[in-house]
């Protein structure tokens, strides 16, 4: 049996190579703020979600407030922090990573407004700037990752994720150009282009990244040692195969390729579930906490999304069915996994900054004093019920169910944001960030 253990040199989430606190926390805080805005917009737009018009400007803007505003912002901050811990490398260009935050956040706000108003010039300007900011991020990370000495499966997942991100945003600029009328010749292929963009970004980037980092984060959060790693390499090979077959399916319209891709996707999720289960079995922590349970529910949501995708491809997939697959995949699998990890990452980062060198009188708080993770249970239950109801409402195109699901999801997200803001303590954070600049 191959053995695995956590690195002894790191202190759970902080190493000597870690970037200054202001770099990751700014991206993560912006991500949490955007998550709250997404929740309110989701409740506000819920009546559109049942109407079967996935390309409606307000919905495209809503999708990108989730994917770019909350998920990608949070991910960028988390990756700048975790890559140094997982791979024991410094970030290649910290000043650039720091400045890029402003380019990214401003372009994101402009892009959101442009998408909502379907404003062609805004699309080109802010879409272009967002793509530049994402290129900078991906290149800084890929340059950092070349310094890694032991290029294991986790490294393979994380590098692949960033390569897929570069491909996804290259395609995004083509989509922006077609939508703004600058590249009309490509409009006959718009459906394939959008499908490829979603596949590269949602599956290629987010899923590869989450699977890769979970090989480090789950053992770190459960204190697991001696678990099996023999499935990890197969998971990576199957994940790339799924991408390849799904791409062939999109561009050749041969359903057989899509089916191969789906089978490979199911195998990836099953192997991932087995790997994570084995880590949990080898844990030293007594209790399995709610955020860790959520990571498993997220895998079930991923499986359900693949099931829905299969049904949609057999039934001819009215567009609304594809939309519900994307909703379930992005919210159920990507977002829920990230929420699970956020309950562990954010408190740790704050604790390390504020209390790890505590010298003054009195006892320093421990991480559990910053957040009681059992309070995340109602968040995950509400979120899971909301997402399932929302997806069912979208499939049935039944307005009351869709609106109910969207509002329940939005409430759960807002509760999550409130809990995160309590941990961050925005007043203290504002001072810490201004001291740093």
Burial 186-199 (b: 16+ CB within 10 A, else e): eeeeeeebbbbbbb
Q: Count the neighbouring beta carbons within 10 Å of the beta carbon of residue 298.
A: 24
Complex with ligand HEM: residue 326 or 384, whichever CB lies closer: 326
Complex with ligand HEM: residue 33 or 198, whichever CB lies closer: 198
Rounded to an integer, what distance in angstroms lies between the CA atom of residue 116 and that of residue 122? Answer: 10
Rounded to an integer, what distance in angstroms lies between the CA atom of residue 80 and that of residue 252? Answer: 38
Burial 211-229 (b: 16+ CB within 10 A, else e): bbbbbbbbbbbbebeebbb
- Residue 322 beta carbon to ligand HEM: minimum distance, rounded to whole angstroms: 8
- Residue 60 beta carbon to ligand HEM: minimum distance, rounded to whole angstroms: 4
- Residue 21 beta carbon to ligand HEM: minimum distance, rounded to whole angstroms: 26
Q: Using the structure block, give the residue that is written with the tokens 């700037």.
A: 129
- Residue 279 beta carbon to ligand HEM: minimum distance, rounded to whole angstroms: 27
Rounded to an integer, what distance in angstroms lies between the CA atom of residue 24 and that of residue 428? Answer: 16
Complex with ligand HEM: residue 128 or 226, whichever CB lies closer: 128
Interface residues with ligand HEM (CB under 6 A) are 54-55, 59-60, 63-64, 67-68, 72, 127, 130-131, 134, 168-169, 172, 175-176, 179, 194, 197-198, 201-202, 205, 323, 326
Complex with ligand HEM: residue 27 or 351, whichever CB lies closer: 27
Q: Using the structure block, give the residue that is written with the tokens 């994380």.
A: 158
What is the sign, positive or negative, of the torsion defined by CA atoms of 187, 188, 191, 196? negative
- Residue 203 beta carbon to ligand HEM: minimum distance, rounded to whole angstroms: 9
- Residue 220 beta carbon to ligand HEM: minimum distance, rounded to whole angstroms: 26
- Residue 149 beta carbon to ligand HEM: minimum distance, rounded to whole angstroms: 29
Complex with ligand HEM: residue 127 or 302, whichever CB lies closer: 127
Decide: 248 and 285 in contact? Cβ < 8 Å: no
How is residue 116 annotated by DSSP?
H
How far does the chain reach from its first CA to its final CA, in angstroms?
A: 49
Decide: 122 and 64 in contact? Cβ < 8 Å: no
Complex with ligand HEM: residue 292 or 336, whichever CB lies closer: 336
How is residue 288 annotated by DSSP?
P
- Residue 137 beta carbon to ligand HEM: minimum distance, rounded to whole angstroms: 10
Decide: 281 and 227 in contact? Cβ < 8 Å: yes
Length of the chain: 437
Complex with ligand HEM: residue 121 or 375, whichever CB lies closer: 121
- Residue 127 beta carbon to ligand HEM: minimum distance, rounded to whole angstroms: 4
Cα angle 85, 96, 99 (rounded to 5 degrees) comes to 110
Which of 205, 213, 204, 207 has the alpha carbon at shortest distance from 81? 213
Rounded to an integer, what distance in angstroms lies between the CA atom of residue 23 and that of residue 38? Answer: 23
The three-class DSSP label of residue 182 is coil
């Amino acid at each position: 049996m191959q053995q695995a253990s956590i690195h002894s040199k790191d202190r759970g989430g902080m190493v000597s190579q870690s970037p200054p606190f202001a770099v990751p926390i700014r991206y993560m805080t912006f991500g949490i703020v955007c998550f709250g805005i997404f929740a309110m917009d989701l409740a506000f737009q819920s009546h559109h979600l049942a109407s079967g018009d996935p390309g409606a400007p307000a919905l495209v803007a809503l999708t990108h407030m989730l994917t770019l505003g909350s998920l990608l912002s949070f991910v960028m901050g988390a990756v700048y922090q975790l890559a140094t811990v997982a791979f024991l490398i410094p970030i290649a260009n910290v000043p650039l990573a720091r400045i890029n935050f402003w380019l990214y956040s401003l372009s994101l706000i402009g892009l959101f407004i442009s998408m909502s108003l379907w404003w062609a010039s805004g699309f080109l300007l802010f879409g272009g700037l967002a793509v530049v900011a994402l290129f900078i991020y991906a290149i800084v990370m890929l340059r950092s990752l070349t310094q890694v000495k032991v290029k294991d499966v986790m490294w393979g997942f994380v590098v692949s994720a960033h390569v897929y991100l570069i491909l996804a945003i290259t395609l995004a600029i083509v989509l922006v150009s077609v939508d703004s009328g600058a590249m009309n010749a490509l409009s006959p292929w718009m459906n394939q282009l959008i499908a490829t963009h979603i596949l590269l970004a949602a599956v290629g980037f987010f899923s590869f990244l989450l699977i890769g980092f979970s090989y480090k984060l789950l053992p770190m959060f459960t204190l697991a040692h001696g678990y099996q790693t023999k499935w990890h390499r197969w998971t990576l090979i199957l994940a790339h195969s799924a991408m390849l077959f799904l791409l062939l399916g999109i561009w050749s319209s041969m359903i057989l390729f899509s089916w191969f891709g789906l089978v490979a996707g199911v195998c990836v999720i099953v192997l991932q579930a087995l790997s994570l289960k084995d880590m949990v079995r080898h844990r030293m922590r007594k209790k399995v906490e709610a955020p860790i349970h959520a990571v498993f529910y997220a895998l079930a949501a991923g499986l359900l999304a693949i099931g829905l995708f299969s049904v949609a491809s057999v039934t001819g997939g009215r567009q609304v069915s594809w939309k519900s697959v994307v909703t379930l995949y992005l919210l159920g699998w990507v977002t829920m996994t990230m929420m699970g990890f956020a309950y562990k990452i954010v408190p740790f980062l704050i604790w390390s900054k504020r209390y790890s060198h505590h010298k003054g009188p009195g006892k320093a708080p421990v991480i559990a004093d910053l957040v009681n993770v059992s309070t995340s249970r109602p968040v995950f239950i509400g979120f899971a019920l909301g997402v399932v109801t929302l997806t069912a409402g979208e499939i049935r195109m039944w307005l009351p169910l869709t609106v109910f699901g969207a509002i329940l999801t939005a409430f759960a997200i807002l509760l999550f944001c409130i809990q995160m803001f309590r941990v961050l303590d925005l007043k203290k954070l504002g001072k810490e960030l201004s001291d740093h600049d």
